[in-house]
Amino acid sequence: MRRAAAVLLPILSLVAAVPAPAAAQAARGPSFDCARAARPAEKAVCADDSLAGVDRLMARAYRLALRGASADAVKAEQRAWLAGRDRLLAADPTDYGPLTVAYRDRLRALIAAAGPLALADALATVRPIDPLAETTPEGEEEAAFAAFVLTTLLDRPAPPDEDEEVGLPTYDRYAGFTLVAPLADGRLLMAVPDSCGAYQCTVVPFLLDPAGGTAVRAAVEVPAAGGTPAADPQGRPTGMVVVEGTRVSVLTLYRGIGDCGLRTVFRAGAAALELLRVEEKDACDGNDWAPGNTTVTTFRAD
């Protein structure tokens, strides 16, 4: 546990200074030719890696939305949105915050318009990815697209305020810190970072069945009175997620060096993370986790 925490801490502590996906995406441009960019918003997108990433995803979602029954309405809305982008830079051309928020919200609107087409596209292309391992820009972008699709269609998060979007844009958070892990039964567990602190993220869990073309927002079981776990449909675990077979564990650190915290172990059920046990080392005393200083509460057998 201490080794895992030590790996996680330096990665997430660098987020505010150098977002991980921004470096990976630096050589990739937006969906249009920057050599022909003339308008202020176009130049801003070409100058900002996160905006360029969202622009690529937006173009993808737009193509999917055009395949639906409301193609004419989608075209009209997109033309109006594009025409109004420059106004977001009128007060301060160097402040990309309002434009970043607008791009994020427009992407979600296009995904909502595409609906099942967007979900099918995401399920067909998403692949396992571990944010603590070596990744590729393409894999990060697929994870980001799937994260936008699933959170938009199955669990719309409360939008962060403009300052948060500037500090770590949703695209960067999704591309850099989404976990997609294979389960033993052929499904995928996807943990989408809802918000990130100094050394861990709060995540939204999804259970994906690419072969069956389905996805569910996984409920999360929590301890309840009487010892019977209760499912929280909106549960958002906080910590490092590890998948082994059909077991899903979440390590919540009480402080960054990993000498105290809470490890919650679940089983990936049909539509929920079913609580198996909770292990807690409450004392932040510099000692390793061990049977003598760790309390274990078992709720059901593995």
Q: Which amino acid is at 149?
A: V
Cβ(221)–Cβ(266) under 8 Å? yes
What pLDDT shows up at residue 226? 72
Contact 171/144 with Cβ under 8 angstroms? yes
- Rounded to an integer, what distance in angstroms lies between the CA atom of residue 109 and that of residue 235? 24
What pLDDT is recorded for position 268? 97
Place of tokens 């982008």: 85
pLDDT grade, residue 210 (50/70/90)? Answer: very high
1 pLDDT more than 50: no
Asked if residue 138 lies in contact with residue 126, where contact means CB atoms within 8 angstroms, the answer is no
What are the tens digits of pLDDT across the range 240-274? 999 999 999 999 999 988 999 999 999 999 999 99
**Per-residue pLDDT averaged across 69-84, rounded?**
95
Beta strands in 169-260 (DSSP E): 179-182, 188-196, 201-209, 214-217, 219-222, 230-232, 240-244, 247-253
Instruction: Calculate helix-pair angle for 40-47, 97-114, nearest 10 degrees.
Output: 90
Whether 22 has a pLDDT exceeding 60, the answer reads no
For residue 197, what pLDDT is reported? 83
> Residues of the chain with pLDDT > 90: what percent?
76
Which residues does 11 contact at the CB level (< 8 Å), separation at least 6? 20, 131, 132
Structural domain of residue 105, as residue ranges?
Answer: 2-298
Over residues 116-175, the pLDDT tens digits come to: 999 999 999 999 999 989 889 999 999 999 999 999 999 876 665 555 566 789 999 999
Query: Cβ distance 231 to 221 under 8 Å?
Result: yes
Number of domains in the chain: 1
Mean pLDDT, residues 39-62: 95
Q: Percentage of the chain with pLDDT > 70? A: 87
Question: How many other CB atoms are found less than 10 A from the CB of residue 75?
Answer: 13
- The residue assigned the tokens 């990993």 is 258
Count Cβ atoms below 10 Å from residue 67 Cβ, excluding itself: 12
User: Cα(87)–Cα(39) distance, rounded to whole angstroms?
Assistant: 11
The answer to whether 115 and 153 are in contact (CB under 8 A) is yes
Specify the residue for token string 């810190």.
177
- pLDDT of 214 over the 70 cut: yes
SS3 category, 31:
coil
Residue 71 pLDDT: 94
How much is the pLDDT for 159?
Answer: 61
Between 223 and 111, the higher pLDDT residue: 111
264 forms beta bridges with 250, 278
User: Which three-class secondary structure state does DSSP give residue 292?
Assistant: helix
Comparing CA positions, the residue from 244, 247, 259 lying closest to residue 289 is: 259
- Average per-residue pLDDT for the chain: 88
| Per-residue tokens: 119 | 């979900």
DSSP string, 38-106: -SHHHHHHHH-HHHHHHHHHHHHHHHHHTTSTTHHHHHHHHHHHHHHGGGGGSS-TT--HHHHHHHHHH
- At 182-198, the pLDDT tens digits run 999 999 999 999 988 88
CB 238 within 8 A of CB 252: yes
Average pLDDT over residues 54-59: 97
pLDDT at residue number 301:
86
